[in-house]
Structure 1
Amino acid sequence: MHSDNRAENLFFEADKLIEENRIVEAKEMLLELLSEFPDYGRAHNHLGWLYNMKFNNYPKAKNHLELAIKFAPDYHAAYSNYSYLLIDMYLNDEMITFGKKVIGRSVVDKSTIYNKMGQAYELKGDFVNAHKNYKLAIKETINNKAVDAIYASVSRVRKKMSLMQRIKLINQ
């Protein structure tokens, strides 16, 4: 984290602009901040989120979220935002690899990581591993809406499984 007040002030101003849905202004402010402080990880996170969610520019989003994780490894939001992006990009193998790499870190939202790994496995047609990761996601969440959504994923995956896959689950 930068001790420089200017960086902090620009970041919080950009964050406020995002909250006010002043997206273009927020993007410009974040770009200005990064031109002065290129290793300000939280700004990379916000810019990556904007490029994914508001501008649908996956390559720029991916670049900024990777820089966010590199420069602000203790900033939890970057891991979740990167996971969402990888699923949005159908980079399922990359999501599984990323999830396995970061799941042990104390700063990550384990429920989100397991859930996104479950989605990656499901999209690959590996319903047994999808089921396993969804169940791990349920264990890690304390949010009722999230639990309900993940249970819906468990149910959906079970419906997609063959009889042999369901028997394998019972025997685990």
Structure 2
Amino acid sequence: MDILYTVDEKYLQGIEELHYGELPKALHIFNEIINIDPGYARAYYQLGCFYYYQFKNYQTAGFYFKKCIELEAEFPDVYTDYLKLLVTLKMYKSVELIAEKALLVPGVGKAEIYGQLGLNAEMQHDFVLAKEKYKLALLATDSDTDHVLFKDHLKRVDDKLHAKKSMVYAYQS
């Protein structure tokens, strides 16, 4: 007997199953939610996370993340995971567009967004831009752990910048 009456209650049950490590049950619940209410954006987000992190099915994960944003653009949680996926897939232009949109949404972790932008620039070997984005991430963070992480990113980018410089040899006689 199903004692849950609303889609929100079903969603909370799915989240609870996730926290208890019951992935198959949670996956079933989120799919059930979409069957009941195809406009319930947060279920699409959770399915996107499943396909990205658990199944490594990036195309399907991208579909669900994109669908979530289409249905509820003000849902802040989706942006970080979607950007991670786009960076992983090296979809550089899409990263810029989604990040721009994400920075306007209240509740989005700006430090994480700037961090993904830094990684995106670093992957394209634009170390100056990467350094700029990591500095913005450093300024936006309020966590000591993230502060250390972004400082490490900055050090790594500085090392890459120095490695990229050409060597000048001085002749001595």
When normalised by structure 1's length, the TM-score is: 0.87
Bigger-Rg structure (1/2) = 2
Moved more, 84-93 or 46-55: 84-93
Which residue matches 1:94? Answer: 94
- Percent of residue pairs bearing the same amino acid type: 23
Moved over 4 A (4+): 162-165
**1:141 partner amino acid:** T
Q: What's the CA shift string for 1:140-169, capped at 9, x where partnerless?
A: 11011111111111000011114898xxxx
Contact 1:34–1:40 under 8 Å retained in 2: yes
Structure 1: segments with no counterpart, 5+ residues: 166-172
Which residue matches 1:24? Answer: 24
Deviation at 1:26, TM superposition (A): 0.9
Contact 1:93–1:120 under 8 Å retained in 2: no
Distance in 2 of aligned mates of 1:21 and 1:89: 27
Distance in 2 of aligned mates of 1:15 and 1:105: 23
When normalised by structure 2's length, the TM-score is: 0.87
**1:18 partner amino acid:** L
SS across alignment from 1:83:
helix
The alignment yields a C-alpha RMSD, in angstroms, of 1.9
Structure with more helix by fraction: 1
Are residue 42 (structure 1) and residue 42 (structure 2) matched?
Answer: yes
SS across alignment from 1:60:
helix
Distance in 1 of aligned mates of 2:28 and 2:164: 54
Deviation at 1:74, TM superposition (A): 2.2
